[in-house]
Structure 1
Amino acid sequence: MNSINLEIRPISYQEKVEERRQLLRRQGFLSRLQNRDFKLWFPELKPEILDRLGWLDLPERSAKIIPQLKKFAEEIKEDGIEQIILLGMGGSSLAVEVFAHSWASLNAPIPLQVLDSTHPRIVAQVGQEGQNHKTLFIVSSKSGTTIETLSLFRYFWELKKRESEFPGSMFVAITDEGTPLEKLALERGFRAVFHGSPDVGGRFSALSVFGLLPAALLGIDLEKLIEVAHEEKKEIFNLAQPSPEISRRDVLIYPALLGSMVAQRDKITFFASSELVSFLDWLEQLLAESLGKDGQGLIPIIQEPALEPGMIGPDRLIINFALSGDKDLASSAMSELLTKVDCPQLFITLPDIYCLGAEMFRWEVSVALLGSILGVHPFNQPDVALAKVLTREMLEKGFSSSSPLPAVALDKEKDLVAQWGQWLESIEPGDYVGLQAFLPPSEDIKDLLSELRKIILTTTKAPTSLGFGPRFLHSTGQLHKGGPNKGVFLQLIDNPEEEVPIPETPYSFGQLIRAQADGDFLALKQRGRRVLRVHLGEEAGQGLAQLIRIVSAHFL
């Protein structure tokens, strides 16, 4: 296996990181993780520690299921399936996006799309595009109870019932054994059910069946992917004194760097070349949901637009991913920019795309160790439940797509300007701004949100993050509510004209996404977070453009 290359810049930071790396090695962090020593995290055993360490064994376990996954992929290909749509959230979808995007040059035998939005405009659009196509739906949920995944399933099940007498042949489930989803799949005659491992949490499941079944359908060489991860694992847990060459790429460099600077530099700003961009979404969830709790946490900042040296403050640490020999012009421009910045930077160069399997394992190890360093439980997500409970309450109250919660409207420009100004004034040095867009994740909306991020960044110099709802609830949502109170949030909602009912339920997708926005807004308020809510009207794109014009006119 060609080696992953690490470089810390400027040189002045290397000595501090090396001292911390050697300390972590002397303290036996890796051996204690390998031996499942729960005292690595807490003096007494807590739930979801020992029963959540199965990911350490995935390089070996997953090698045993590869023949089964490849056989299934071949059957699907021979059956004439024309497209694959994966319905899933968070840990059930983000690794799949990495495989679909980073291996796009493979020209997958069957196109695969991930659907993790419940916005009625997107749901209706995907439903319309999928009509009269021979489609395989992968319904992916570890718990088997994920409300978004089950709602999407019910919608597409109803559509396919109109096309086929036996719609179950078009559906596959990935879930743990004994879940409500497995029961549903058996009752409705799904084509297959693949079981996850109960001792592997969702965000640590990339190299399990949750990631590997879609990877097999994409035509990825599973043996190579898992072998690279297996070789990396052997190198990590070879506890003999490492050679100087191995020390230069030691996995302990990650927790040594991040852990030694967390008090001053907790905004971990990631950049990546084009083939690796989707890896950042996966890594964002791993860091945010694992470490953002008990008032602690590292704050991942990804895909931030138009950074200039003067915008990179003393609270940032930069990590840049690239492929060896990458000719990506955007990546080259970013590398040039970073030479002008005086803050700690880690450059990670992968020899080829299959080393993403190794890099996923390296970051899982690192996050587990960072949990120990920060004194938090890296395998639970205690603050996610609050938003879920509040969402259920909203749905049970029967709200339509309108909402009784406060939101400033665009046609109240004077109020908007006043509240925006107050919101800006609440941002203090060391804060970050989190955009929460309960909007359709279309390219035009993404472009407008990128422009809005630039304006906020220019105005405040505060790092900015962006998440589409409800997707981010399964990623950065834990950090927003459970991490340090440094987030200042902008929730953006619309009132879509489309009314798309969710079959077998009393509510629609419009009601669901609004209830989720309401629930998260209330959860943020209960946690004492600073949040401004803006209603963009019926057409999100037009509303965003109007918001940008108003903010630019008054605050730039």
Structure 2
Amino acid sequence: MSFDIRVSGHVKAVVEDTLPGLVADLVASGVTAQDPTLWGPAAEAEAARRLGWVQAVSVSRPLVAQIAELRAQFVAQGLTRVVLAGMGGSSLAPEVIARTAGVPLTILDATAPGQVLAALDGDEEGGLAQTVLVVSSKSGSTVETDSAKRAFEAAFRDLGIDPAERIVVVTDPGSPLDESAQADGYRVFHADPTVGGRYSALTAFGLVPAGLAGVDLDELLDEADATLLEVAIDSPENPALVLAAAIAGGSPRRDKLGLVADGTHLQGLPDWIEQLLAESTGKAGTGILPVVLLPVSPELERRPEDLQILRIVDEAAEFHLFGRHEGEILVSGSLAAQFVVWEYATAIAGRVLGIDPFDQPDVEAAKAATRGLLERRPDQPAPAFTADGVEVRVSDPALAASGTIAGALDALWSQLGPEGYVAIQAYVDRVHLPELAGLREMVAADSGRPTTFGWGPRFLHSTGQFHKGGPAVGVFLQITERTDIDVAIPGRPFTFAELVAAQAAGDAAVLADLGRPVVTLTLTDPQPEVLSLFEAAQ
């Protein structure tokens, strides 16, 4: 088998209880046959136009030669640096593919001006003169991607370079981006419109940027092809059925899934799984919350009863024999096999949960709030208080009553119930503040509850759906920054600094309107000792 899954203890009992019904109902073959009735009448219309991913391998085969030919042309011109501007499903899969293959691919899925400048200026692989930009957007109207495209177009022209020679577009046929790109003479790869963004790993969205960066796409698709036979069979051995039962079954259900990459050669896979699961299942007050963990994270020592651990390893059978991971889910397999099995399992988990795994009804709320703030340009509300160069704003004055950062955090943790979780949302330049990701471990230890970490606005296209549409049990810690660095967005009346500020404020407002507690910490020091601030606050 190209994918192996092992379960034990509690989760084995859950699988044994849930799996027979999935087999009897012919769910696996139904997904393969693109049966839109599997998720109930309310989801049928959406499912009918979102199941093209089960045929992605055969549909994508003709793209491989086209991508290889274009890459050869670029390499012959000395264009060796590939930058991908895309959000969510348009960037997470190619990032995992490239990292696992050891191929350089610069990802721009941010609006922090410092990060935009870093992508424009280049890195060790070369500067803008050696750069090809892939602009990837299913809808063709994603504000982050459009803004990046505009910035790169202007930068290319400043160097005397025709953007049409350097920009490659991936989008659905007939999208606004497709129409403008065709008019401007850009190279355009059309994606399959019957595939939703988060299920698009093996479509043009995953393959074009990865292939242009130098990944062997034939090998990737061959691995996926081998796995398709395994997941289509209505059998208790079907790994997708077992995985779906393990993550979505049980009563009471463990609705938080701790994802641990433990010695695997696959790089960054939990981040891709996080988006697929959270955006697909986090709605109608239910869902599965992925929590990306380290092998030494606090949640593995003090395991909450509502947290199921899933460990990604290179040999699941070998780990299983050790017997040290009782009650966990162990999975192994090639990257393409992981893509196929997780897509099937997520869709099937949606059936188990009784929701539509293909829509994202709450994602638009933050986008609308951002647009409103950019149009009105209201003054930022005064902070509740300022301490150690950090401005503190809160959704409820009671959260700031202590007048200290430590007190505000304690007040936020006090809002956690027995099924609660903490979401850290960092709207900062992660190129220059990568250490901020270490805050997740500190908060998990301090709060005693599962903790997610998301770079903003990237997470809005991932766990953002769960935070608004899933169970109302989360508390939210926003980190923003004030910086003198800014980048203009040609043709727009706002800059990148104004855009990222509006995205943070807009999302905080939507969360507050839904009754979710929010504490926003704005870093005003240009060189903050971020982690030391939180160490002092604990």
Structure 1 length-normalised TM = 0.88
CA contact under 8 A between 1:470 and 1:513: conserved in structure 2? yes
Q: Residue 118 of structure 1 contacts residue 470 of structure 1 at CA under 8 Å; is this kept in 2?
A: yes
1:178 to 174, 178, 183: 174
Corresponding residue for residue 261 of structure 1: 250
CA offset digits 1:239-273 (Å, max 9, x no partner): 4xx5xxxx445321011111223733111001113
Which whole-Å deviations, capped at 9, do the CAs of 1:70-94 have from their partners, x for residues lacking one? 2222222222203111111001000
Give the match for residue 316 of structure 1. 307
Taking a change above 3 Å as real, the CA distance of residues 264 and 144 of structure 1, as seen in their structure-2 partners, is same
Match of 1:346 in 2: 329
2:41 is aligned to 43
- The residue aligned with 1:61 is 59
Q: Hey, what does 1:490 align to over in structure 2?
A: 477
Please tell me whether the aligned partners of residues 427 and 478 of structure 2 are also in contact (alpha carbons under 8 angstroms): yes
> Does the alignment pair 1:445 with 2:433?
yes
Query: Residue in 2 aligned with 1:410?
Result: 387
**CA deviation after TM superposition for structure 1 residue 193, in Å:** 0.5
* AA of the residue aligned to 1:284: E
Query: CA 1:472 to 1:335, structure 2 compared with 1: closer, same or farther past 3 Å?
Result: farther
Partner in structure 1 of residue 289 of structure 2:
299
The answer to whether 1:394 aligns with 2:376 is no
1:430 aligns with 2:419: yes
Query: What is the letter of the counterpart of residue 417 of structure 2?
Result: E
Q: Which amino acid in the other structure matches residue 445 of structure 2? A: T
Contact 1:408–1:534 at 8 Å: present in 2 too?
Answer: no
Q: Which moved more, 1:421-430 or 1:487-496?
A: 421-430
Residue in structure 2 matched with residue 547 of structure 1 by the alignment? 533
Q: Map 1:111-122 onto structure 2 (within 5 A).
A: 111-122=104-115
Deviation at 1:464, TM superposition (A): 0.8
Classify the secondary structure of the residue corresponding to 1:62. Answer: helix
Within 1, Cα distance between the matches of 2:24 and 2:132? 51
Check if 1:4 corresponds to 2:3.
Answer: yes
Is 2:424–2:476's contact at 8 Å kept on the other side of the alignment?
yes
Give the 3-state SS of the residue equivalent to 1:159 in structure 2.
helix
Instruction: Output one character per residue of 1:108-143: Cα deviation in whole Å (capped at 9) or x when no partner.
Output: 4xx321111110111122222365522100011011
Q: 1:13 to 1:492 in 2, by over 3 A?
A: closer
SS in 1 for 2:193: coil
Q: Is the 8 A contact 1:408 1:533 kept in 2?
A: no
Matches within 5 A, 1:50-199: 50-104=48-102, 108=103, 111-129=104-122, 131=127, 133-190=129-186, 192-199=187-194
Classify the secondary structure of the residue corresponding to 2:239: coil
C-alpha displacement at 1:538, in angstroms?
4.0
Q: CA deviation at 1:274?
A: 5.2
Pair 317,187 (structure 1): closer, same or farther in 2 beyond 3 Å: same
How far apart in 2 are the matches of 1:102 and 1:22? Answer: 35
What does residue 357 of structure 2 align with? Answer: 378
Q: 1:44 to 1:283 in 2, by over 3 A?
A: closer
- Relative distance call for 1:7 and 1:46 in structure 2 (3 A) is closer
Residues 480-520 of structure 1: per-residue CA shift (max 9 Å, x gap): 11111121110111111112111111111100000000110
Gaps of 5+ in 2: 392-401
CA RMSD of aligned residues (A): 2.5
Is residue 22–residue 241 contact of structure 2 (8 Å, CA) maintained in 1? yes
Secondary structure of the residue that 1:293 maps to in structure 2?
A: coil
**What amino acid sits opposite 1:409 in the alignment?**
T
Closer, same or farther in 2 for the Cα pair 1:497/1:326, shift >3 Å? farther
* Contact map agreement 2:476 2:519 (CA 8 A) in 1: yes
Do the aligned partners of residues 160 and 366 (structure 1) sit closer, same or farther apart at CA in structure 2, a change above 3 Å counting?
A: same
Q: Is the 8 A contact 1:40 1:372 kept in 2?
A: yes
Question: How far apart are 1:165 and its partner, in Å?
Answer: 4.7
Question: Is 2:221 aligned against 1:226?
Answer: yes
Seen in structure 2, the aligned counterparts of structure 1 residues 407 and 290 have a Cα distance that, compared at 3 Å, is farther
For residues 43 and 187 of structure 1, the distance between their equivalents in structure 2, rounded to whole angstroms, comes to 40
Question: Residue 368 of structure 1 corresponds to which residue in structure 2?
Answer: 347
> C-alpha deviations, 1:427-454, integer Å up to 9, x for none?
1222111000001113x6332431x323
| Contact map agreement 1:481 1:524 (CA 8 A) in 2 | yes
Structure 1 residues 145, 25: closer, same or farther in 2, change over 3 A? Answer: same
CA contact (8 A) 2:121 2:128 kept: no
Where do 5+ consecutive residues of structure 1 fail to align?
none
SS class of match (2:476): strand
Supply the distance in 1 between the matched residues of 2:524 and 2:283 (Cα, whole angstroms): 34
**2:284 paired with 1:290:** no
In structure 2, do the counterparts of structure 1 residues 29 and 249 end up closer, same or farther at CA, with 3 Å as the change threshold? closer
Alignment of 1:260-279 (within 5 A): 260-261=249-250, 263-272=252-261, 273=263, 275-279=265-269
Give the Cα–Cα distance (whole angstroms) in 2 for the partners of residues 406 and 375 of structure 1.
42
Distance 2:170 2:382 in 1: 37
- In the alignment, the residues of structure 2 paired with residue 188 and residue 405 of structure 1 have an alpha-carbon distance, to the nearest angstrom, of 44
| 8 Å contact kept, 1:537–1:543 | no
2:451 to 454, 459, 464: 464
- How far apart, CA to CA, are the structure 1 residues paired with 2:440 and 2:77? 45
CA drift at 1:49: 1.4
**How far off its partner does 1:98 sit?**
0.5
Equivalent residue, structure 1, for 2:507: 520
Q: Does 1:537 align with 2:527?
A: no
Letter in 1 for 2:114: R
Letter in 2 for 1:123: V
Per-residue CA deviation, residues 437-474 of structure 1 (Å, 9 max, x unaligned), is: 001113x6332431x32332222220111000000001
- Which deviations, in whole Å up to 9, do the C-alpha atoms of 1:38-70 show, x marking residues without a partner? 321113564421011111111211123222222
